[in-house]
Every structure is written in C-alpha cells, then in structure tokens.
Structure 1
Amino acid sequence: MTRKSEETAAGNMSEKIVLIDGHSILNRAFYGIPDLTNGEGLHTNAVYGFLNIMFKILDEEKAQYLAVAFDLKAPTFRHKMFEAYKGTRKPMPEELHQQVPVMKEMLTAMKVPLLMKEGYEADDLLGTVAKRAEAEGLDVSIVSGDRDLLQLATDKTKIRIPKTKRTGTEIEDYNAVEVKEKYLVTPKEFIDVKALMGDASDNIPGIPGVGEKTATKIIAEYGSIENAYGHLEEIKPNKARESLREHYDMAQLSKTLAAIDTDSPVEFSLEEARLGDLYTEEAFELCKRLEFKNLLARFNCDGPKNSVSGHFKKITDTAAADEIFESALNADILGFQLLIWQKQIQGLAVCYGEEDIYYLPVQGAMTAEYLTGRLEQAAGSAKMSGTINLKEELSFIRIPDRKRVVDEAIAAYLINPLKDTYTYDDLAKEYLQMIVPSRMELLAKGGYDPEREETAACAGYMAYVAFACAIPVQDRLKELDMFKLFTDIEMPLVYTLYDMEKAGIMVNAEELKAYGDKLTGRIGELEESIWAQAGEKFNINSPKQLGVILFEKLKLPGGKKTKSGFSTAADVLDKLADEYPIVSLILEYRQLTKLKSTYADGLAVYITENGRIHSSFNQTITATGRISSTEPNLQNIPVRMELGREIRKVFIPSPGFIFVDADYSQIELRVLAHISGDKTLIDAYRQAQDIHRITASQVFHIPFDEVTPLQRRNAKAVNFGIVYGISSFGLSQDLSITKKEAAEYINKYFETYPRIKQFLDETVENAKKEGYVTTLFGRRRPVPELSSSNFMQRSFGERVAMNAPIQGTAADIIKIAMIRVNERMKNEGLLSRLILQVHDELLVEAAAEEAEHVKEILREEMQGAADLAVRLEIDMHTGANWYEAK
C-alpha cells in the first residue's frame, strides 16, 4: 500500500481513514431499527440503519478514505479450529441475510471499496488495513459493534462502537487509553481476557467457570494467560485456578481464536479508498428503489437529470396570467394544484409543458375567484388534467368533465396501498425518478406566503409533478389491471365523498351535553365502587397503580409482570371479568371514560355554526380499500354496549327530514360464498333462512328446528371467524371453550363447506407466489409478511391473505353503492342526501316526502352494486335520530 500526500509530507495534520465492519454494523442496525420494507416487499431496515451510521461517522470524522469489510461464506480459520468444540454460529435471520447483497450493491454504487478475502474474517482484514494505514501515518477509525476490535486500539487507531438508544444512535470511542480506563487492561491484554471468558457468539470457547469479571482481574494482575499459568497457585478464586489448570490448552486455543490477524494477505489500494462523491446517480436510483426518502435529501435536491426548477415562473399580474391561461387552453395535459391554507386559496400552480411551469399567488386583481374561473376554463378544454388531492380542491372549483381529471394520489394509493403518504415529492420519486423537496422541507408548518421564494418553489414542484405524473400513474394502473377500478370506482368516489363532507351531519348540542352529564354520573358511581372494592382510593387510569391494586394487594391471578409493572391490558382483564366484579367495573369505567373524552367532549369541538359536523372521509388510508373518517372519526361509534350506542341519539336530521339507514346483511360472508364457489354455502343463502342456524344444523348434523341458541352462537362465531382467518386458539378465546373443541368446530365447518377451505388455502399459496391478493374488482393488496422468517409475521400474513380479498371486495361493493345512491339522488333532483358511510352501512338524510323513494333507491342500488352467486340483502330502518334508524 502506498500513499502520496503532500500535506502529510509537509507536516500538516494527518489524513484519516474510516474502516467499517460490514456485517457487524448491519447486524446492529437490523436489531436496532423496526422492520422496514419497500414496495417490492424487500426488507430494508439494516441497510437504512447502516447508511445512517456511516453518514453520521463520516460527518464527524471528515475522513479522506473509506472502506468496508465483509466476511465471505467460505469457512474461516477460526471456524475450522472451533468445529471440534462448539459447532458454528447461529444462522443469520433471512430478513437480514437478504439485505447483505443489497448493502454491498449500495456501497459499490457509492464507489466504496469492499474488503473481502476467503478464509479470513472481516476483523482480520480491518486489523491488517488499520496496521498498514497507521504505518503510513494515517489516523484510523474502525467502526464496529464487536468489542473484539478493541484489541486493535492504539494512540492512532480509534475503535468506534455505535449504541442504539431511545435518543438515537450514540457512539462510544476507544483509543488505547480509553480501553485501559474502562476495561482495566491494555488492548493487547484484552485478547487474553476474551480467551478466558469465551464468547459463543464469536466461536471462542473460553474455559469453564470464568466470567468477564474474573478474567479481567486475572489478566490485569498477570498480563497474559501464559504468565497467569506460571503463577497458577496464586490465582483466586479456587474455581478459576482449577479451571485454568485443567483447561489450559483450551485457553491457549481460545487466545489464538480471539486474536485478530493483522498480517492477512488482503489486497488494498489506499487511492481506491479515497472518498469521492458518494451521492452518485447509481446510489440515488438504489435509494429511490429502497424508498429511503430521508436519505434522498442528501442527494442534489433536484436529483439526477432534473433541472425543472429552472423553469419555474412567478406571475403577479392578470395580463400575464391571461396569456398563460390562453396558452393552456386545449392542452394535452394540464397539471394544476390549488394552494390552500386554512380553508382559503392562497394561489394556483399550473403546468402544461416541460418548461411551462407557473405560480400565481392571490394578490391584487389576481383574486381567488379569478384564478379558479380561469382554471375551470383551462381544465374544461384540456384533454387530460392531473392534480393531487382533488377532493380538497372541489370546495373551490367545478370540474366540467370528470372523466378527464386524474387524482394522482388516488392512483398511487391503488398501485401501492401500504405507503403512508402520497404527496407530490413521493410521486416525483416513484414515477419521475426525481428527488424534490417536500412541502414540509420548504415551508415547515407555515402557509403559502407569496413573498417567500420557497412558496414559489413548492408551487412549481406541485404543478410539474401533477403534469408529469398524469400518464405514468395511469400506465402503471393499466399494467396492474386496476385502471377500470380507478376510473369506475375510485375517481367517482372522490366526488361522492366531497358531497358527504359538504353536507355533514347535524348534532343536537343539548342532547350531547346531557349525554356527557349522564356519563359523568355513571363514571363517578364506578369510581366509588372500584375504590370501595379495592379498599383505597387510587388513580384508576394509571396502569401501574391499577396493577399493584389488582395483582399485589388483591392478589388476582394471571398477573403479567413487565418492566413498567403489571400488565392491565384488555386481554388480561377480560379473562378475569366474569369472576371478579372489580375487574368488570374497571372495564366499564374504561369504556365510559373513553366515550366521554372521544365523543361527549370530543364531538363538541367539531360542531360548526350551522350545527353540523363535517367529518373528513379518507380514501387512501387502509390497505384493504375501506374508507376511514377523521376529525372526528364517525366510523368507530361504539355498538357493543347500550350506553355506547346511545351516542347515536345526538345525531339528528334537519327539520322536515328523517334518517334512512341501510346496512348490508352479512356482506362478507356472502362475498366468501361467491368467491369460494362453495355450493353448500351458496345453497344455504338461497334458502333465505337464518344462515347461522343453517350452518349449525349442517356442522352439528342436527335438524334445523332443533338448533339451540348456544349452537347458533358458536356457528355464528365460526362463520365470521373464518372470514378473518381465525385460529383454533382465537375461536377458543371467543367461545370460552378449549382449543381442542375449537379445532373440532373449525374442522367440522370445513367438512361442511369444503370449497371454502380449498379457496383459503389456494389464496394463501398464490399470495406467497405473487406477493399480493386481489378483490373481485381487481384491487391489489400486497402481503410482504408472507416472506418473513418470523412465524408470527407469517401467520399474520396468512390471515391478511385470507381476509383481504373478502373485505376488499365488500369495500368495493359499498363504494359502488355509495356512488350510485349519491348520483341518483342528485340526478333526480331530490333534496335527500347521503351523509354518512360506516363500514357496510349508509345513512341518508331524507326529506320526509321523499323517504319512500329514498328507500327504493337504496334497495335498488345497494342490492344491484354487484352480481354475486348469492343475493345481496340489506336491513333498512328510519328514525328521528341515528339511534332510532339503526
């Protein structure tokens, strides 16, 4: 190894090399960071963590050279020597194993040299290169999670050991002095300590009965194993003395194994390790594929091949704006984004060509009304328009031809429903291979200040991405056979959800307050009862105090001790509730306090001046395709306890209106019958009788009329449990029966409905091969958990694979019904309006004189939403509030 350095020759500060123990840091990152996967289902947490540690080290060290060492699969000298004693190391988890070649690919893309040599471990290579580098006058930093490398520490060679803590990654540094201070031995003596104490994880046997404390004491006093053996009779304790006497040969072997070879024949060129620009285009592409969004910010923000920011133009007068809108008329593609802040338009971003990217702030004569009016004209004439989060914009603009507008966030969600966000920067990375700054990076949590350059930049990126992604996202949907799902269900649903949000639902504020007072009274009663049974007052909301009361003072069985105290989770308390009244009271107390905070108190803040709550309906949250609601969440109204159901009484129709509520009857079971093609289950539904009683009759081989309520309840639990991939253990918990009895129920069920078992098995097998499952309408749900080496993760993946096609199909059907019901009432000019959707239920605020017609519309459109082998049925009710209608 040779080095040419004018600065060093001139006596200036030494240059520095960073050497990284590849497998060790990957391993540390793997266990220190929660599991991550990209859109392809590839595990990425170890690679992500490794890069973060590497960048942190490089930022601190300001080094001129970098290399990373890896073990090769070929057996090393140490492995061969150790085979006779203890075998080989614990195999690497598959999720980590698959990341090793990815890590090497990333480092190669960054032009970082890899140190590898058959027959030698990574620490041998690190020790050898460190020794050569130090001889050349370099300072050396070795990064490893393995304390073995402390033996390499000198005044010029520093060992850096990352420690993952709650506050982030912290790094402990050791030169020779620090090793002596902390471990009481020199780096060279550290070899002997390890040889005595052994390390099974590193294939070093050690000698029996000697731990780290004793080994350190012996070597600190005698300096080496050989010298200690020469003073054998002086060694204490007796157990250690006799162990060394009997196993001296093992101690010497262990020392050979523990010592790092600093003269291995590794080929290494210092100039090849000189740090250049790590942020190459190849590394950028790989980071993008791995979805390392936070790391991508380290690359040039515009990204390789991206110079669109040079075409951003800010327009501040209407004359120039008029010219732009005239040029935009009849565009092939129009990308647009309204800049909305605090429910007000702050500006408009438009793009209709690679170099035609404009930001038009609201100011002076360029009013919000002017901008939206011109935008509607341009969008009406364009062959296609692209935007992101169209539903929010519909409060300000009218779309003339809905079929020509693409919401690219919705498209991206269909393509990969497992992602958390579908923002313009996400889309740019995924479909344009561009890295652009996010809104948060540019504006933090602020609004669109027209005076800031960052606002113009944000607008420009929004407009360009909306323009450039319109075709790629649709092409990808076509490749995945989801284009029809997008155009016929998801895009029309945007307008339906907007109508529902705009309408909102009326709340009786006085009734809500009375409901809160009722809860407060009952909560107070429960507190007194709980304290009386406990024999003292305590904070019922404190899991720690509650655990002490239940499991220490009252000595209830089943206490599970954790680091923070006894677990008082619902699954623990549920098992005790029937036998111990105090536990039953505590569970009721928890339910009622949540009701009060979430609904009695929580709903009040959302009531607007018109007395209505306008919840937000989210289309891109759930992986199965179900709609969710937030601010507030009206889809999680409690139904299991009467006092919970009573919250529905506060939701009322406007004067002159009534509620009509329609709920699909057992839609997921009906979907299962159709998808599986099980003739017995299909026939059972076609008999139009009680499906759970029929199932009990067939499973237990008893006449239909002789089925007991308990048998029907058990059959119902199996019917619905099968849809969710329930296990014998889960069913035993639900029915309070043994696992064996539950297994028998499930086996009898599958004997009765054999095609269901076949369908579920085939679905799981196909998901393992393809990596995803689909609904009847083509919606894909990736199932990366099926490739996990973790049994619990795989089991979860199997349940997802079984359930997602059923639940997803049901979600698609309810969406179709919502669109049809909403459009039909609007097209027929009715005053009635769809205001709420909760899972399989639709709630319509119907004008009293239109109620019967609304029922007819609901029945026709909900039952006609899908053509299944079994008829879709609905339960329908009316009422003066939601409680009565349900």
Structure 2
Amino acid sequence: MPRLVLIDGSSYLYRAFHALPPLTNAAGEPTGALFGVVNMLRTILKQRPDYVAFVADAPGRTFRDDLYAEYKANRQAMPDDLLAQVEPMHAIVGALGFPILRVDGVEADDVIGTLARRAVAEGIDVTISTGDKDFAQLVMPGIELVNTMTNTTLDAAAVFDKFGVRPDQIVDYLALMGDSIDNIPGVEKCGPKTAAKWLAQYGSLDEVIAHAHEVGGKIGENLRKALPQLPLSRQLATIRTDVPLAQGPRDLHLRERDTDALRELYRRYEFNAALKELDAGTEPAARAAPDLPAAELPQRREFGVRGISPPPVPSTDPELIGPGRYELVTTEAQLDGWLAKLATAGLVAFDSETDSLDPLQARIVGVSIAAAPREGAYIPLAHDYPGAPAQLDAAHVLARLKPLLEDATQPKVGQHAKYDINVLSTHGIALRGVAHDTMLESYVLNSTASRHDMDTLAKRHLGYETVPYEQVAGRGAKQIPFSQVDLDTACRYAAEDADVTLRLHRALWAKLEAEPRLRHVYETIEMPLVPVLARMEQRGVLVDTVALKQQSHELARRMHEINERAHAIAGRSFSLDSPKQLQAILFDELKLPALMKTPSGQPSTNEEALEAIADQHELPRLILDYRGLAKLRSTYTEKLADNVNPRTGRVHTSYNQATAATGRLSSVEPNLQNIPIRTEEGRRIRQAFVAPPGWKVVAADYSQIELRIMAHLSGDPGLLAAFHGNQDVHRATAAEVFGLPLEQVDANQRRAAKAINFGLMYGMSAFGLARQLGVGRGEAQDYMARYFSRYPGVRDFMERVREQAHRDGWVETVFGRRLHLDYIHSRNAAQRAGAERAAINAPMQGTAADIIKRAMISVDAWLLEHQDAAHMLMQVHDELVFEVRAEAVDAIVAGVRERMAGAAELAVPLVVDVGVGANWDEAH
C-alpha cells in the first residue's frame, strides 16, 4: 500500500534543540536544532515515501485557548537560540521539497490527526514521525508512530507495552495524569502507573469517574476533587481528526528540491556532509542526528561533549599529509643505507610486527622504521608463506639494530611504545631513548576522546586514511598471521605505521607545546611511566595455581548449594543463568515488583534491579550471591592459571595507560584491579598471589588519599585540622555533623559520615545519600546541610569547580592534567548534572592518579639501585605491591614509604600504610 509520512515539525525542533549541544556556525548563528531536524529529514528522504508533509504550528490562538484560558499558560517563551532557527528550518524544509502545512486556529497535532485518519480511509498507510506521546491515541491498523531520533516504532501492541493502556485509552490516560507543560489539569499525584491501573480496572475515564467513590486513600480524595475538570482535560488532550483542510493526503507529493537554495543554506550553516552529497548528486544519508560522526557536525560553541564534538582540524603541513614512499629492505646494502639514515636522524620512529598480541610471547615478524615524514622502510624477518622471497636473517638484523635501539641518546618515537619495549626485551634488546609516544600525546591532550589508536589519530589529526590491518590480513576466522602476508602488502602496511607515527608526533607535539601544563604532565608523568610499567609487566607476579584450583572447586560447591537452595525456594528447577527463566520466577510467579526494565521493555534481572528488590524476598539475594561467585570463578580462579606464562611461570598483566579519562591505570589479561577485597572469597584469591621462597610480598597503600586531596583543594580549615591532627577523618566529620564530642561518635554515625565524605566527593545527591544510608531524603538532606555548614570550604570549592567546568568545559588536577567533561553544556538536565558531578570528582581522582604515577616513577628509580632486593609488581588503585627479599624488607619498606609520601606536596600529609606477608592478602 502507498505510505504517507507526517512529520511533527514542532516536536522535532524542540527535541533536537535539547538533545544536541549548542552548535554554531562560523558566524555565531545557532545551528544545533536545525542540524538535528535537517538530518531527520534526510533520513526520511532515503525512505522515498509516496506522500509526505512537514506539519508545524501556526502562530496565534487555537480552539483550545477558547476552551480553557489557562491552556499552555505555564509554557515559557521559545528560547532566543531556538527562535532564530525556525525561519531557516522552514527554508531548508521547503528547499528539500517537503510540503509545509500550517493551519490557523488548530495545532499541528490536529492537522496530523486529520490527515492520518483520512489517509487510512483512502487506503494509505501512515507513519507519524514524532517523539510526542500524545500521538499514541491515533495508533490503529494502518497508523504507526516512528521516532527517528531513537529509531523506535509504536504500533498498538507497542503502545500497550510502553504505557500499559490501549491506544483508544490514551486520551483518558492523558486526562487523568494532566500535563504540566500544556497546563492541562489532571488528578493530583496521579502518575502513569496509577492512570494505567484505573483504566485497566474500569476501562474508561467515564467509568473511573462513575466509580471514583470506590478509590481509597489520599489518591482517591484527589480523584474526587478533580472530577469537575476531568471532562475538560479529556477534551484538551484529544487530537482532532476533523479539521477542514485545503489539501488531502494524495496532494502531499514531494516536490523537486531547489538545489541552488539548498547549497546556499548548507554552506551558510556549515552542513558539510549534506553539502557534499548534494554536490555529488547522491541521496541523503540515512542517519539520525545524534549518531552522526563528528566530522559531519558544524562548529560547536562549547567543547566537551564526547561523540559529537568536532575533531581537531587536520594538519595542512605539506610534509605531514599525503601518501608516503616506502622501501622493502631485503638486502644488506639497503640495511646499511637505512642504518646510516637513522644514525643522523633527529628522531627515529620504530615499530615491530609480531605474531601475537601478548608482547612477552610474541615473535618478531618484521620491523619498520622512519627517519623523516612520508618516508619509511619495512625489514621483513620471518614471513614464511609458500614462495616467500629471501629475507635478511632476523638475529643479524636485530643485532645490527641493537646499538641504535639501546642508545638512550638517540630519541625515538612510537605508538604504544610499551608494547615494543616488551617485545624487544624477549629478543635480548633493552629499548631506550623513547622520547615520545603518540598514543600518550593524544591521551594527554584529550583523555576523554574515545580512541587513541594510530588509525583514528591519523584520520583525526592528519586527515589521512591508513591501511587497516583487516585489509592486509583478513578478518575473523579467515584472518591470517602477519607472517603469511606477502612482502609488498606487508611493506605498505608496516612502513606506513612508522611513517604515520612520525607524522603524528609532529602534529601532536605542536599542540602540546602550546599547552605548557599539559606538556608538563606528558613529560614528567606519562612518558617516564612507560619504562616503569614495562618493567612491572616483564617481571610479572607469582601465583599459586594449586591454591587457585582448590578455591575454584570450593566456589563451584558453594554455587551448587545456592542453586539447590534457590530451587527449593521457587518450588521447581530453573537456571540461575537464564534471564528469561528468572523473569518468570521473580515477576510472574513470585509477583515481585519489576522496578527496572530492559531496553525491550522486559523486567530487568541485572544486578541493580535485583539489589532493588533484595529486601523483599530471599531469592534475589541468592541470585546475586551466585553471580558473584560465578564471576570470581570464571574471571580469576579458573582463568588466572591459564594466564601463567610458560617461560616465566608468572602472570604478566598489561597496564592500559591511555584508557581512563581521569588518568587512572587499568589492567587486562588478566585484570588485577577488580579482585574484591571486602569479601572472604576475594581475599582468598589474593592469598594465591605469593612470594617465592626467601621473599616477601609488601603492599603499600595511600590512606584516604582523595579526601586528603579534597582538603588540599578546598582549603577548608576543619578538614585540614582533622588531617593535621592525625584524626580519624570520618569520626571527625561525624562529630561535626552530629554536634558530638569525638569520643561519643558511634559506629552508625561514623558510617554515615563516611558515606557523606565519599558521597559528596563523587557529587552524590541527597537522594543517592538517602538510598545508601537507608534513611529518608529529608534526613539525608539535613546531613548534607550540616556538613556544608561545618565545612564551608568544601561547598565553596564545589561551586568554584562547577563554575570553571561551565566556563572552560574542563577541570584540572593539581599537576595540570586536563579532564574534559561530557555534556557540561547539555540542555538535558540529567546529562548536565552528571557532568557537574564528574567535574567535582575529577580533580580529586585525577590528582590521586597523578600522585601514584609520580610515586611509581620515584620508587622505580630508587629500586633500580636495589635490583637484587626488590621489584615492583602491581599497581591497584592507590596501592603498590612489591616482591622483596626477606632480609631487605625493613629498608625497602622505609624507602617506599618515604618516596610515596613525598610524591606530592599537599596542604596535608600523605600517609602510606604498609603491610608485609607471604602473600598479597597477608600484606594488605
């Protein structure tokens, strides 16, 4: 059947305005809402509807204003930035060829309703493109709603799933709830669940009114109080379907677009992707505005929104752009020539190609080098496919490269150079002189950028498309090892790596030089940390695989016991690993409340959902306990043994230095930073991390470091005094908040104060604090008010940080690390509030990350003088773990404590707790 698409223009204009950041063109004209609407329209054009119309509200009064003088009385005037985009929106809509309908005296909703019903009567299917729930009342066979911003469709079944009522009940549903935006009166305190419940019970608004006397409680009183106005509310909420219109559905053909007008408008508002497609004569891309890649966005007014901020302007330096010239080195004479070039180069780019992602088990297949931009070479060493040409001997080439690679006075640049340091370490080469790492340059410049890999950086900063690995080696099950790639293809790919790395450094270094504080972070923290992490990864940590195996058996036994107990409670067998079966047991059979839903609308059984109902029945807690044990077993007790390197007999984690926005390190393969410490099972896993005979495990942990940083940053006299007096800061806070002497503070009051201290540091709201403490919101709000009255410096600091975040789009650590904030300028209140919470926490968490990194650099340099006595093995949050000879423990503990405490000069002392034991748990 033919299809009519009716576009709710007003809805999309407002939604785009609030969903997208405040964008502008170069002239400073606002473009965010316009950009969103235009891309929605381009999506619809791709679908080639038979009939289409863009429906907008006409200015002036409507019949609803005559029905109710207070209709929309509370609605604020359209923001100036949005008002400025209405006229250009209509200009672009018209130039695209869309019929624009605005009818005096009625709203766009009524025009859409009338056209939709007429179209169905004429045998035309209808899609209403909107995000407005009011249109659900029009849904019927032949009419569906589609939200192109979320790519969701509502038919009759979906309406019921979403609202709990049928489409023919939507008007009554809306009348009962009322609408604060349109100022439609409803029943006070009647929300969606109550309205749906009443309509499920009584069937219609008329029947709800007839049975109002049966409804008890305060809500029943509210219903009876609202009875006189409910018929009016229903009338105001009803979309008319009988508006006299000059055009019918079959008159709404898409006209030929005005390409000259579109070109001028696209250029003015800098819609570059649309302009490019227009000039190419291609159809518009079918994309929703929020999902468009950053390159398609116009200039932003503010910075800091991940995923939609414009990329840096690619370099225009002719040395850095365009294809490179690459040489395949297979003869001694070629190798001589390149070694001579490298010897006189100011900076050398080096990269290794291997047969494994595990650097400590990888075999070098070839190496690539570059001494100048757009020039590079690849030296194949171990390509072994049938018919592969002769290559230089690997041992010989590495021996000739070794003096250069180990020369600390010869500066080198890499992309994720730590990997190459570790690879070369297993081939007898200690890579020194790594002066720069392009991954870390990018990370320091903007740690909130989602990726710092070479392919992404090349496109972002050079406008250069690199050869992807999958193009040379295939993907998935058909991917071949690099040693099987033919030499010419391998040369083009690998030499490009070294060349582009050198080019990227030129582009990124210029940006860092323009930001002295960021350059300081890069030069004094991130780059010196690279060899430190490499040494830790190479050393690895000894684990007792026999103990792990025993723990795994015990965890399996406990999981079985929980499984049996759960079956007994439920009265039948079911799988604790099946969300579908859990939904049936918890919500259908036990009738527990489904407080959270999955994206598809099903009751959620995730951890948060189960925690929310764990106090109402024993089964949710059992499921949570089962999952916790299963995770420990699969992640650690079963897998850690598989991670043991057969050559060293140790586990070698890999530290990610460019992942967390705050500067924190993370670890993978295995992840050693998420082993629980507060549970018996987690502590038992730590017991398997052992020292070899004659050695001890030493764990050094910063005490309350983020609270100490808060005291430093806020300068609050109360907090400073507590730390200088070596008081229990949580007890001191409890004494201040509850107005008690220190000695009278009980355990519950200290617990509440601890929650306040850490909660406020993470920007927690009164609601969040109330939930954590299990008290009323009013009581939590009172705690927070008393806290801020006792620690006014903290309140003032938080306000300063919020102001800076909104002004600059970022905040800083004590050492100058910059943390860009997602959505700090978003018009979405929840997103903005989240960014403000992050702004408060980021300087503390980021400074803590900087401090422990500085400590690692200092301790590592000292330990190099005591190589036979101690090794740094692990970094876990605010803790460093060492392996120390038993006879050297006292000296090493004193040296580590001194250097960790001296890693920063704060207004309060840094305190380091140190423990010693035969295993990690004993030492903690």
CA 1:622/1:270 → structure 2, altered by over 3 Å: closer, same or farther? closer
Letter in structure 2 aligned against 1:582: L
CA 1:310/1:725 → structure 2, altered by over 3 Å: closer, same or farther? closer
2:431 paired with 1:366? no
Partner of 1:132: none
Partner of 1:213: none
Matches of 2:880 and 2:113 in 1, distance apart? 60
Which sits farther off after the overlay, 811-820 or 436-445? 436-445
1:356 to 371, 375, 383: 375
2:691 to 653, 659, 667: 653
1:70–1:115: 8 Å Cα contact kept in structure 2? no
Letter in structure 1 aligned against 2:500: V
CA 1:841/1:535 → structure 2, altered by over 3 Å: closer, same or farther? same
2:608 paired with 1:571? yes
The DSSP-based 3-state class of the residue aligned with 2:672 is coil
How far has the Cα of 1:454 moved from its partner? 3.5
CA 1:726/1:116 → structure 2, altered by over 3 Å: closer, same or farther? closer
2:263 paired with 1:255? no
Normalised to the residue count of structure 2, the TM-score between the two structures is 0.70
2:665 paired with 1:605? no
How far has the Cα of 1:518 moved from its partner? 0.8
Equivalent residues in 2 for 1:16-95 (5 A)? none
The DSSP-based 3-state class of the residue aligned with 2:800 is helix
CA 1:419/1:507 → structure 2, altered by over 3 Å: closer, same or farther? same
Alignment root-mean-square deviation, CA? 5.2
How far has the Cα of 1:544 moved from its partner? 2.9
Deviations 1:280-316 (A, max 9, x none): xxx997679899999x9xxx9x999987435222222
How far has the Cα of 1:647 moved from its partner? 1.0
Normalised to the residue count of structure 1, the TM-score between the two structures is 0.73
2:507 paired with 1:472? yes
1:512–1:600: 8 Å Cα contact kept in structure 2? yes
Deviations 1:729-750 (A, max 9, x none): 1111111111111111111111
Matches of 2:36 and 2:473 in 1, distance apart? 26
1:594 to 613, 625, 631: 631
1:351–1:464: 8 Å Cα contact kept in structure 2? yes
Letter in structure 2 aligned against 1:853: A
Partner of 2:856: 818
The DSSP-based 3-state class of the residue aligned with 1:845 is strand
Partner of 1:514: 550
2:369–2:376: 8 Å Cα contact kept in structure 1? yes
Partner of 2:447: 417
Matches of 1:558 and 1:826 in 2, distance apart? 58
1:123–1:149: 8 Å Cα contact kept in structure 2? no
CA 1:285/1:712 → structure 2, altered by over 3 Å: closer, same or farther? closer
Matches of 1:49 and 1:313 in 2, distance apart? 50
Which sits farther off after the overlay, 253-262 or 728-737? 253-262
Partner of 1:408: 438
1:660–1:879: 8 Å Cα contact kept in structure 2? yes
2:338 to 310, 324, 330: 324
1:413–1:620: 8 Å Cα contact kept in structure 2? yes
Partner of 2:219: none
CA 1:327/1:124 → structure 2, altered by over 3 Å: closer, same or farther? closer
1:561–1:567: 8 Å Cα contact kept in structure 2? yes
How far has the Cα of 1:826 moved from its partner? 1.3
The DSSP-based 3-state class of the residue aligned with 1:566 is coil
Matches of 1:677 and 1:543 in 2, distance apart? 50
Equivalent residues in 2 for 1:704-783 (5 A)? 704-783=742-821
2:314 paired with 1:312? no
Counting matched residue pairs gives 750
Partner of 1:385: 412
CA 1:55/1:344 → structure 2, altered by over 3 Å: closer, same or farther? farther
Partner of 2:578: 542
1:408–1:473: 8 Å Cα contact kept in structure 2? yes
The DSSP-based 3-state class of the residue aligned with 1:496 is helix
Matches of 1:150 and 1:357 in 2, distance apart? 67
How far has the Cα of 1:451 moved from its partner? 1.2
Matches of 1:859 and 1:715 in 2, distance apart? 28
1:43–1:98: 8 Å Cα contact kept in structure 2? no
Matches of 1:266 and 1:254 in 2, distance apart? 27
How far has the Cα of 1:257 moved from its partner? 7.5
CA 1:607/1:423 → structure 2, altered by over 3 Å: closer, same or farther? same
Matches of 1:99 and 1:278 in 2, distance apart? 29
Matches of 1:407 and 1:766 in 2, distance apart? 30
Letter in structure 2 aligned against 1:847: R
1:723–1:802: 8 Å Cα contact kept in structure 2? yes
The DSSP-based 3-state class of the residue aligned with 1:395 is helix
Identity within the alignment, %: 31
2:460 to 411, 430, 436: 430
Which sits farther off after the overlay, 563-572 or 829-838? 563-572
How far has the Cα of 1:539 moved from its partner? 1.3
How far has the Cα of 1:90 moved from its partner? 10
1:331–1:352: 8 Å Cα contact kept in structure 2? yes
2:534 paired with 1:494? no
2:920 to 866, 882, 885: 882
Equivalent residues in 2 for 1:779-790 (5 A)? 779-790=817-828
Partner of 1:333: 347
Matches of 1:292 and 1:719 in 2, distance apart? 29
Matches of 1:775 and 1:292 in 2, distance apart? 20
CA 1:98/1:668 → structure 2, altered by over 3 Å: closer, same or farther? farther
The DSSP-based 3-state class of the residue aligned with 1:541 is coil
Which sits farther off after the overlay, 705-714 or 354-363? 354-363
Matches of 1:497 and 1:270 in 2, distance apart? 58
1:626–1:839: 8 Å Cα contact kept in structure 2? yes
How far has the Cα of 1:422 moved from its partner? 1.5
CA 1:750/1:647 → structure 2, altered by over 3 Å: closer, same or farther? same
2:527 paired with 1:527? no
2:322–2:464: 8 Å Cα contact kept in structure 1? no
How far has the Cα of 1:160 moved from its partner? 11
How far has the Cα of 1:569 moved from its partner? 3.2
2:115–2:241: 8 Å Cα contact kept in structure 1? no
1:830–1:850: 8 Å Cα contact kept in structure 2? no
Deviations 1:238-293 (A, max 9, x none): xxxxxxxxxxxx877541387799899999468998964479xxx99767989999
Matches of 2:351 and 2:85 in 1, distance apart? 42
CA 1:697/1:770 → structure 2, altered by over 3 Å: closer, same or farther? same
2:583–2:604: 8 Å Cα contact kept in structure 1? yes
Equivalent residues in 2 for 1:603-642 (5 A)? 603-609=640-646, 610-642=648-680
The DSSP-based 3-state class of the residue aligned with 2:824 is helix
Relative CO higher for 1 or 2, CA cutoff 8 Å, sep ≥ 6? 2
How far has the Cα of 1:828 moved from its partner? 3.1
Matches of 2:498 and 2:78 in 1, distance apart? 44
The DSSP-based 3-state class of the residue aligned with 1:652 is coil
The DSSP-based 3-state class of the residue aligned with 1:785 is coil
Matches of 1:56 and 1:613 in 2, distance apart? 54
Letter in structure 2 aligned against 1:594: K
CA 1:121/1:423 → structure 2, altered by over 3 Å: closer, same or farther? closer
CA 1:69/1:382 → structure 2, altered by over 3 Å: closer, same or farther? farther
Which sits farther off after the overlay, 740-749 or 425-434? 425-434
The DSSP-based 3-state class of the residue aligned with 1:834 is strand
Which sits farther off after the overlay, 673-682 or 568-577? 568-577
CA 1:635/1:713 → structure 2, altered by over 3 Å: closer, same or farther? same
CA 1:323/1:28 → structure 2, altered by over 3 Å: closer, same or farther? farther
Matches of 2:584 and 2:749 in 1, distance apart? 40
2:141 paired with 1:122? no
Partner of 2:186: none
Partner of 1:793: 831
Task: Name structure 2 gaps, 5 residues minimum.
Answer: 101-111, 130-144, 154-239, 264-276, 283-292, 357-361, 383-389
